[in-house]
Amino acid sequence: MRNTAINKQVQDNLTPEDVLTDLLAGNERFVNNELEEVSHLDLVQQTTTGQYPKAVVLSCIDSRVPVEQVFDQAIGDVFVARVAGNFENEDILGSLEYSCAVAGSKLVLVLGHESCGAVKAACDDVKLGNITHLLANIMPAVKKSAKEIDGDNSSANPKFVAKTVENNVLLTIDRIRERSEILADLESSDAIKIVGGVYSLQTGKVTML
Ligand SMILES: [Zn+2]
């Protein structure tokens, strides 16, 4: 059973590649229903005065994508920023910058997922309250997919939705690099990596893009 939390020394010694390998190994345990046993109380006590997470995951709010479990991570291991449709905005960028530049995380992972309701709503150009503003962030991905996928460009076409989920992750990564000088510089100096993946609702597996 795991009973030690990640500390500064462990975080310092990790490379971005190590962290990605670790998260994907955790996902493999999740897919195989072999989650590591953890003494949560020990980790609570060890992290009371500080945290040294190895990664920050930008995820959708979807209840079917419980990020820590999907990567078999425990208390203190990862930051998670969540917004429907897993895109960046100024506040999310600030959260990612805090994770990497202040708290020492080595990896930014943008995680989309199969059949994302926010992506589907953007495909259908839904207008509803504050959701309209939220969906505007996903529209660049919808427009890109419309040029790449023939036929029905609505949520009724699973191929169009899947392509838009991927494009949304990739465009979000592009915009993170464009809009955050701090993160772009950290990546240029190999201190961090910014990567993207898509979670399968059918298998629980994360496939990197
Ligand atoms: Zn979603």
- The number of distinct structural domains making up the chain is 1
For residue 100, tell me if it sits in a domain.
Answer: yes
For residue 2, tell me if it sits in a domain.
Answer: no
pLDDT number for residue 98: 98
Q: What is the mean pLDDT of the chain?
A: 98
* Tokens standing for residue 109: 């992972």
For residue 189, tell me if it sits in a domain.
Answer: yes
Place of tokens 């390998």: 21
* Tokens standing for residue 187: 């990546």
For residue 164, tell me if it sits in a domain.
Answer: yes
CATH code, domain with 167 = 3.40.1050.10
Q: How far is the CA of 121 from the centre of ligand 1 (A)?
A: 10
Residue pLDDT, tens place only, 13-42: 999 999 999 999 999 999 999 999 999 999
Task: Print the domain residue range for 182.
Answer: 8-208
pLDDT number for residue 87: 98
Q: How far is the CA of 132 from the centre of ligand 1 (A)?
A: 15
Q: How far is the CA of 86 from the centre of ligand 1 (A)?
A: 7
Q: What percent of the chain has pLDDT over 90?
A: 100
Known binding-site positions for Zn(2+): 60, 62, 113, 116
For residue 1, tell me if it sits in a domain.
Answer: no
Start-to-end CA span in the chain (Å): 32
For residue 3, tell me if it sits in a domain.
Answer: no
For residue 53, tell me if it sits in a domain.
Answer: yes
For residue 177, the tally of other CB atoms under 10 A from its CB is 15
For residue 120, tell me if it sits in a domain.
Answer: yes
